[in-house]
């Protein structure tokens, strides 16, 4: 059912503080994908003869009228709590502009030419220094493959390891981009039970045994152990090695995705799963959350015995990561206080998370609960059982606020009584206004339940 005109943001709602416009002016592409997935509307069959040429993968691609929310989100005064965007206004943009210009003037031919498929050695070496700050001390630049963001790295992993029908285990909920990527390869994505401390080892072991008893081929466990998108949960440190051991015993590769790891508010970082498990964990990182997502620079730290196959598969897709962007990231890491910038991000996100949690305490009706993340971008709300948050999205738009329904993040399918709120790009006073608007929608839903 297409979004109707009455779902547009009503003109009579007061516009929030003006500095919110840049923060909430649009949904991120990730949020648009999530909203599309939540609607679960299959793409209509076409009538052109070329429709018969489409692959089975293409036939399963879904579209949604909820993508119209992308345009709606740009209506003045609408508060978007949907998009997981970093707060780029804190970057030294004037200096970065001069750096970009100097790269062209001093290294123009190199910057605009094809590069090596694995990425520049300088940036791969610098990435090892970033991973050392994350807690991985034995990374070798030779085992780093630079990718077009970590989403591309996920895609390559699925291509290299999975045949149609193979199983990838993942947290429920999990990142919508990973779900879409894995399902595009006709992988059987199977949820693993989690609690407020992440994956439960005993239940992981039971899930693996049950699937193997059915004759399933489990290839990978995909996990976001630090500040899961969307739940904000952090995998308990005491569970981490046990989870890797369980997967090793079952010959399952761990695919660890850690875009938010450095954004723990107090700066005391948990050890990555990869830290002591070089052969059993394929580790994904990204500059999208700690620098700038528009540069599309991520990486994979691949076990040495798998690196060549992974690298060749990555090269076959992109030929090479963008040279100019790599040089700009290298200059940033070499000449800027990038760790100080991460400290700035931590302080900003901690303040905004606290503002969101305070507003939730003030406005949310009884029966609604939420997570209290120690880092990252997101808070995960739970409504009483039986309430589907997807229809509430439309009412939220009428009230002047956008969120992402929980169904977008589940491999299980079906309605969800959960929703995601993003605080990273929204000023504290606007977060309060957004929660106030949302609370009226949720209070009505809870009262009617």
Residues 6+ apart with CB under 8 A from 155: 181, 317
Cβ neighbour number for residue 426 with a 10 Å cutoff? 26
How many residues does the structure list for the chain? 449
Q: So what's the pLDDT on residue 363?
A: 99
Beta bridge partners of 298: 147, 286
pLDDT tops 60 at residue 318: yes
The pLDDT mean for the chain works out to 90
234 — alpha (psi -120 to 50), left (phi > 0) or beta?
beta
Contact 380, 417 (CB under 8 A): no
Contact 379, 431 (CB under 8 A): no
Name the residue with tokens 């949302």: 438
Cβ neighbour number for residue 312 with a 10 Å cutoff? 14
Cβ neighbour number for residue 344 with a 10 Å cutoff? 14
Q: Which of 203, 210, 200, 230 has its CA nearest to residue 167?
A: 210
Contact 41, 63 (CB under 8 A): yes
What's the average model confidence in pLDDT over 323-333? 97
Q: So what's the pLDDT on residue 47?
A: 73
Residue 448 CB burial class (10 angstroms; 0-12, 13-18, ≥19): exposed
pLDDT tops 70 at residue 168: yes
Residue 2 CB burial class (10 angstroms; 0-12, 13-18, ≥19): exposed
pLDDT tops 70 at residue 22: no
Tens-place pLDDT, residues 176-196: 999 999 999 999 999 998 999
Q: So what's the pLDDT on residue 33?
A: 72
What's the average model confidence in pLDDT over 120-149? 98
What is the spatial distance between Cα 401 and Cα 434, in angstroms, rounded to a whole number? 6
Residue 447 CB burial class (10 angstroms; 0-12, 13-18, ≥19): exposed
Tens-place pLDDT, residues 212-237: 999 999 999 999 999 999 999 999 99
pLDDT tops 50 at residue 7: no
Torsion angle of alpha carbons 362, 368, 369, 370, nearest 10°? -70
At 182, which helix (H) or strand (E)? helix 176-184
Cβ neighbour number for residue 200 with a 10 Å cutoff? 17
For the chain, domains (ranges, CATH) are 5-91+340-448 (3.90.1150.10), 113-335 (3.40.640.10)
Tens-place pLDDT, residues 291-308: 999 999 999 999 999 999
Q: So what's the pLDDT on residue 436?
A: 99
Residues 6+ apart with CB under 8 A from 245: none
Tens-place pLDDT, residues 392-447: 999 999 999 999 999 989 988 889 999 999 999 999 999 999 999 999 999 999 99
Q: Which of 142, 24, 41 has its CA nearest to residue 84?
A: 24
What is the spatial distance between Cα 216 and Cα 212, in angstroms, rounded to a whole number? 5
């Amino acid at each position: 059912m297409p979004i109707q005109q009455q779902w547009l943001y009503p003109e009579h709602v007061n516009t929030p503080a003006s500095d919110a416009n840049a923060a909430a002016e649009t949904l991120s592409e990730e949020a648009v994908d999530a909203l599309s997935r939540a609607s679960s509307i299959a793409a209509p069959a076409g009538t052109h003869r070329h429709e018969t040429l489409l692959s089975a993968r293409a036939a399963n691609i879904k579209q949604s009228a909820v993508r119209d929310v992308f345009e709606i989100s740009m209506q003045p005064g609408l508060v978007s709590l949907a998009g997981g965007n970093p707060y780029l206004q804190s970057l030294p943009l004037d200096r970065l502009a001069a750096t970009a210009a100097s790269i062209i003037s001093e290294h123009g031919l190199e910057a605009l030419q094809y590069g090596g498929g694995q990425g520049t050695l300088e940036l791969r070496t610098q990435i090892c220094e970033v991973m050392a700050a994350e807690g991985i001390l034995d990374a070798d630049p030779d085992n780093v493959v630079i990718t077009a963001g970590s989403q591309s790295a996920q895609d390559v992993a699925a291509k290299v390891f999975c045949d149609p029908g193979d199983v990838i285990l993942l947290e429920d909920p999990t990142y919508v981009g990973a779900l879409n990527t894995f399902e595009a390869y006709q992988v059987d994505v199977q949820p693993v039970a989690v609690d407020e401390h992440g994956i439960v080892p005993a239940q992981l072991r039971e899930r693996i045994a049950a699937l193997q008893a059915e004759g399933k081929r489990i290839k990978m466990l995909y996990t976001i152990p630090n500040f899961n998108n969307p739940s904000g949960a952090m995998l308990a440190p005491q569970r981490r090695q046990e989870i890797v051991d369980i997967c090793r015993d079952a010959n399952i590769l761990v695919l660890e995705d850690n875009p938010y790891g450095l954004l723990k508010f107090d700066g005391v970082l948990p050890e990555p799963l990869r830290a002591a498990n070089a052969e059993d964990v394929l580790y994904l990182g990204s500059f999208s959350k700690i620098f700038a997502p528009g540069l599309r620079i991520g990486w994979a730290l691949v076990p040495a015995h798998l690196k060549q196959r992974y690298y060749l598969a990555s090269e076959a897709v992109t030929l090479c990561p963008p040279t100019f962007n790599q040089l700009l990231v290298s200059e940033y890491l070499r000449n800027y206080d990038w760790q100080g910038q991460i400290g700035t991000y931590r302080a900003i996100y901690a303040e905004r998370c606290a503002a969101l949690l305070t507003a939730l305490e003030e406005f949310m009706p009884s029966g609604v609960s939420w997570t209290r993340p120690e880092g990252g971008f997101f808070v995960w709300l739970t409504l009483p059982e039986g309430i589907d948050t997807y229809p509430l999205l439309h009412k939220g738009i009428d009230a002047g606020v956008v969120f992402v329904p929980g169904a977008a993040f589940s491999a299980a399918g079906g309605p969800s009584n959960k929703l995601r709120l993003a605080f990273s790009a929204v000023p504290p006073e606007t977060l309060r206004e957004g929660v106030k608007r949302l609370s009226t929608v949720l209070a009505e839903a809870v009262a009617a339940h």
